[in-house]
Amino acid sequence: MKTRWYKDAVIYQIYPRSFCDSNGDGIGDLQGIISKLDYIKSLGVDAVWLSPIYKSPNDDNGYDISDYRDIQEDFGTLDDFKELVKGLHDRGLKLIMDLVVNHTSDEHMWFKESRKSKDNPYRDYYFWRKGKSDKKPPNNWMSNFVGPAWEYDKTTDEYYLHLFSKKQPDLNWDNPKVRQEVIDICNYWFELGVDGFRCDVITYISKEKGLPDGSFKEFFSSMPLLGFTHYCMGPNYHKYIHELNLHAFSKYDTMTVGEASGITYKDAFESIDENVQELDSVFTFEHVSADMILQVFPKKLNFVKFKKILTHWQELPKTSQPTMFLENHDQPRSWPRFVNYCWDNKEKAAKMLLVAMQMQRGTPYIYEGQEIGMTNVNFKVEDYKDILTTNVFKKVGNNKLLMKFAQKVFLKRARDHARTPMQWDDTKNAGFTSGEPWMMVNPNYTEVNVKQSEKDPNSILNFYKKFLAFRKGKDVIISGDYIPYYEKNKKLFVYNRKLKDKAYFVICNFVNKDVKFKLPKDMKFASAKVAISNYEDGEIGALESRIIKPFEATVYEVQY
């Protein structure tokens, strides 16, 4: 039976490699996470989403799985996993695992078998095709990680499809045996106590019949990659997810969130409407593209567009659940990105971003380190670890100009910014490991760390705790209407959350300056008092007509 617990839940994402290392090998692990469960609980979150912890050769840090039923050795054992589940559940926290089933690792037994011969029973688990007569790949699709999406394999003189790295071959979901394997994997983890899944690139699982060539128009689609429109939201997406729901997701009190890059509003609703039994929610990415050209090149945040996108997803019918996030393991850090790289007044800005996002309707996500204001790093070329970045450098390395440009882009955009070790204290390696960390620690750890933040009553961390405690259990926030105001305003994000005769009126200032504010004409109410703010009570004026302070976020409780 589904209780839909995610409707009033805040989810904390952990990137296990970078969270806490218990054994000094420089890599975060399950015992490390277990040692921090009280910290996680103290935040006031309700669930933890773990990026993949399954066996993997780590070509893409675990998003390339070689055994879906076992734990990556660097992270620990199945017994550690069971201890983690118990530790979470004992504290009333749920566990969401990453379900990476668009592709496997090329070291998965299925793929190893599949590549042996054309008549191997596992051959059809993947996409194997003859090349074009002129020794070219079967079609012109591009990999999300640079280069063609096909790799030639001489054993059988055919190519296999990989939308990510060549060590991540795509599974063929049109094969019912593959779908049954996925169902079995889900049920295996549900039986071990997992409460849900974040479904990796789930919109890519159904490919268009015949795998037709992409066209140049696709460079202007929601993902500038040849082939994208032929594998994103393919013909059987809804059918396959529904099947997975019937045979796995719906059998337990679960929640699912699909990583849904490229999904349209209509398709999203058709997939997460409570009445259709597919997913419970999806991550969409348009709002985190409002400061980019062609999804790649950084530019000034288009704030009005950013608000418009968020508002659009807030308009999803109430039988579906939006999600809210600014950070994850694929995104650079949110401060000062979403305040247009204004480096001043950090504490206020980071707190404001929290309120601006989390007063909306939906399930909010916090990414490890966001709660203490971790930031991007001034990486040198040799510091990067991520396969996407290193592939680009390999590709453009010989061209000085392109290399310089790529470096500039990655200093703002690289996924590695989110993957530096968690900053626990100001001791060596930020208290993350007693060994040599697998990736560099952000040198600002001596000032930005959990220990310091816990001590400082005005820290970002303590505001997160206060805000999450405030947010909990409020019907107006869970299901109230969302009414935007001043949509064209370039500095303020203003909206009302209303349910019957009660509302929360939210004013957030995205610039580090005073901004004049007038109450919208249709806002008539009996009383309004400050419910929560990142400024002290005495500093905030009456709602009717006032100046909004630099990076202020104030929520008024309104009675009609």
Q: What gap in Å lies between CA 301 and CA 284, rounded to an integer? A: 17
Using CB atoms, what's the residue nearest to ligand NOJ?
63
Query: Can 278 be counted among the known catalytic residues?
Result: no
Taking CB under 6 A as the criterion, which residues in 50-69 touch ligand NOJ? 60, 63
| Helix/strand/coil percent split, the chain, to 5 | 35, 20, 45
d(CA 83, CA 78): 9
**Nearest approach, Cβ of residue 72 and ligand NOJ (Å):** 15
How far is residue 208's CA from residue 192's CA, in Å, rounded to a whole number?
Answer: 35
Residues 252-291 that bind ligand NOJ (CB under 6 A): 259
- Number of residues binding to ligand NOJ, judged by CB under 6 A: 9
Closest approach of ligand NOJ to the CB of residue 52, in Å = 8
Binding flags for ligand NOJ, 149-178, as an x/- string (CB under 6 A) = ---------------x--------------
Using the minimum distance from each CB to ligand NOJ, give the nearer residue, 63 or 68. 63
Q: What are the residues facing 199 on neighbouring strands?
A: 99, 258
Give the nearer residue to ligand NOJ in terms of CB position, either 100 or 508: 100
Count of positions (residues) in the chain: 560
Among 201, 353, 441, 515, binds ligand NOJ (CB under 6 A): 201
Backbone φ and ψ for 324, nearest 5 degrees, come out as -130, 125
Contact 27, 21 (CB under 8 A): yes
**Closer Cβ to ligand NOJ, 330 or 368, answer by number:** 330
- For 27-41, b where at least 16 C-beta lie within 10 A, e where not — what string? bbbbbbbbebbeebb
Which residue of the set 21, 98, 106, 200 is catalytic? 200
Candidates 200, 243, 286, 291: give the one binding ligand NOJ (CB under 6 A): 200
**Pairing state between β 196-199 and 255-259:** parallel
Asked if 100 is part of the footprint of ligand NOJ (rule: CB under 6 A), the reply reads yes
Q: Which two tokens stand for residue 437?
A: 């960390």
Smallest gap, in angstroms, from Cβ of residue 67 to ligand NOJ?
16
Choice between 376 and 453, CB closer to ligand NOJ:
376
Contact status: 416 vs ligand NOJ (CB under 6 A): no
How many angstroms separate the first and last alpha carbons of the chain? 37
Closest separation in Å from C-beta 24 to ligand NOJ: 26
State the nearest-atom distance from the C-beta of 259 to ligand NOJ, in Å. Answer: 6
Name the active-site residue from 46, 60, 218, 259.
259
d(C-alpha 65, C-alpha 371), whole Å: 29
Residue 259 among the catalytic residues: yes
Nearest to 326 by CA among 292, 283, 296: 283
Q: Write out the residues near ligand NOJ by the rule CB under 6 A.
A: 60, 63, 100, 164, 200-201, 259, 329-330
Annotated catalytic sites, by residue? 200, 259
